[in-house]
Structure 1
């Protein structure tokens, strides 16, 4: 049963996120108008994010209701009934107040087990903080694709360890194991090599009607794309560090976190998209002739004039929502090590699939840079596997001592 569950999780993560990646890249290139006389890019990143977060919170809610304990209250199913810490006896830490993954991702969080009452409002504010970072991060990632190629984007997103470490240090004063700094150095070197040897313009998709000269983008464009990607990764790092903090302080499941974060993301992006705002670089790039517009109104007008955007938009939102469920299912039953292995190999296949489907051309120097990056991430996975094995050996020895007693 465990093997079948793992096989289903791997198949789900691979299939959903490979299809998601294809749709994401398709959304970054121009679409022909309904009269066939022009082609334009779909710039409404907030509309795209709203569609995905709405479907994600629905899928998480359905999952929670199906897999939740029978007889449990609705607030309990949604993770709003928080366990309160017991009074410590003889200086010992209270039981049941923090998840055992308070040292997740291979680092110490620098926090002791909380002894003060857990606040529902504080938990919801933490979810809102995550959602704000996610809502702001998505437009920067989408905008970066106008300046860098999708394989570069995938490689950069594979290096999330760097901003996660940085934001953990800056926001929560956490410390990290020495090998992680080696991983960061390898990842940084690999990205530098990959971008230095790049020779292809972004948004190339000859098979789907997008035009491209094939010339290498100017260095200034690559710098702009790299800057947007860096902002996206920094915000992603803030999300991950905040999620670590939530798991360390509250007894919530991954699906409960997925539900509330996506609910908040939907509300935030819907508010931003519905308001008549002036032109704001990256965040609100679509405007009407008057200079003030609702992004959702512009998005709907674009969809009416460019019906080809509908299928990749639906594919992006649906596969992203279902893929998150497989991610959290894997995390719950098989742990973060298995999840890291799956996502690492998935991103490698995403790069290869993008090269094949959209006819990207990578130089030998870029393949070398990609190899350095994935080698660095593999070092992280190898060390984590050794740590997990060592902990299991210690646990088995402790169990043996207890049986002898």
Structure 2
């Protein structure tokens, strides 16, 4: 049963996110106008994010209801019964999480509450809502393989934001991984000779356009790092499940992006790129009416993103972060290859070498994690054997 579940998880992550990646790249290039004589680009990243987060919250809710224990209260199903969890796990947290968490559990006024948890979810959702448009805008200036490789470098911003926001320090090997990833992305960018065809529509060409794309990607990665570091903090402090976190984060993302999308905001680069006085959603719906070919990729992007998240959290819950890292690492490699094949990108030998350095660095991280987990399991088995002998 365990092998079958792992196989389904791998198949789900691969199939959903490979299809999601194809749809994302398709949405970044122009669509033909209904008269067949002109093309325009779909620019509403907020509308894309709203569609995906709405379906993701529905998927998470359905998962929680179907897989939840019968007779459980609504607050328990939604992961909001924080007080009882704190009382049950307070002493164990003090032993396992170090002195910083001992202070949290040792004072009554510092005990976590559902209100504080919801504010954490809102914080994560705000980071995601702002980060997504920068990632989508970067595709107007850099190629999708460059984007995939850059997104594979999440370890750098995650470490940075963990240190800046929560003062966490890391093992020496992680800094080696960061150096390899940084060197690899530098080699990839330095040996690139392909410019995205979309850049001309933005009036930016050559190295200047690439710098803008890299800047947008860096902002996206920093915000992603803030998301991941805050998610780690929530998992440690509140003991929620992955599906509960998925539900609340996507629900708040939907509310935030809907609010931003329905307001008649002025022109704001990336967040509200339209120069008209209409709201972002009004422009998006108008674009769909005049460019009906966008509907297919839009549905594919939203649906596969929502279902893919379920497989991600299912893998994390049953097989741990090491297995998830290996799956997502190989998935990113296949995504890059698929993008090269489907959209005929041309990569130089130097770019393939740079990609190899990046993925090599991430593989070092996965290998070290595997050794650490194996050592912990051996220690646990020895402790169990001592207890039995007593």
Shorter-chain TM-score: which interval? over 0.9
Structure 1 CA distance for aligned equivalents of residues 167 and 38 of structure 2: 52
TM-aligned CA deviation for residue 202 of structure 1: 1.4
Matched, 1:403 2:366: no
TM-aligned CA deviation for residue 112 of structure 1: 3.7
Deviation track 1:39-58 (CA, whole Å, cap 9, x = no partner) reads 01100000000000000000
Out of 212, 215, 239, the position equivalent to 2:227 is 239
Find the counterpart in structure 2 of residue 146 from structure 1.
140
| 8 Å CA contact 1:60, 1:255 repeated in 2 | yes
Structure 1 CA distance for aligned equivalents of residues 200 and 336 of structure 2: 19
TM-aligned CA deviation for residue 111 of structure 1: 3.9
TM-aligned CA deviation for residue 259 of structure 1: 0.1
Find the counterpart in structure 2 of residue 382 from structure 1.
367
Distance 1:221 1:110, change over 3 A: farther
Structure 1 CA distance for aligned equivalents of residues 117 and 86 of structure 2: 15
Matched, 1:305 2:290: yes
Query: What's the TM-score once normalised by structure 1's chain length?
Result: 0.91
| 8 Å CA contact 2:94, 2:102 repeated in 1 | no
Is there any run of 5+ residues in structure 2 with no aligned partner, and where?
Answer: none
Find the counterpart in structure 2 of residue 64 from structure 1.
64
Mapping 1:173-252, distance limit 5 Å: 173-203=167-197, 217-252=205-240
Distance 1:317 1:66, change over 3 A: same
Deviation track 1:301-349 (CA, whole Å, cap 9, x = no partner) reads 0000001100000000000000000000000000000000000000000
Mapping 1:219-298, distance limit 5 Å: 219-288=207-276, 292-298=277-283
Find the counterpart in structure 2 of residue 208 from structure 1.
none
TM-aligned CA deviation for residue 74 of structure 1: 1.3
Structure 2 CA distance for aligned equivalents of residues 356 and 62 of structure 1: 36
| 8 Å CA contact 1:98, 1:248 repeated in 2 | no
Mapping 1:1-400, distance limit 5 Å: 1-82=1-82, 83-86=84-87, 94-95=91-92, 111-112=101-102, 114-115=104-105, 116-203=110-197, 217-288=205-276, 292-400=277-385
SS in 1 for 2:72: coil
| 8 Å CA contact 1:64, 1:77 repeated in 2 | yes
| 8 Å CA contact 2:158, 2:222 repeated in 1 | yes
Aligned-residue CA RMSD in angstroms? Answer: 2.0
Query: What's the TM-score once normalised by structure 2's chain length?
Result: 0.95
Find the counterpart in structure 2 of residue 207 from structure 1.
none
| 8 Å CA contact 1:113, 1:249 repeated in 2 | no
Distance 1:386 1:113, change over 3 A: farther
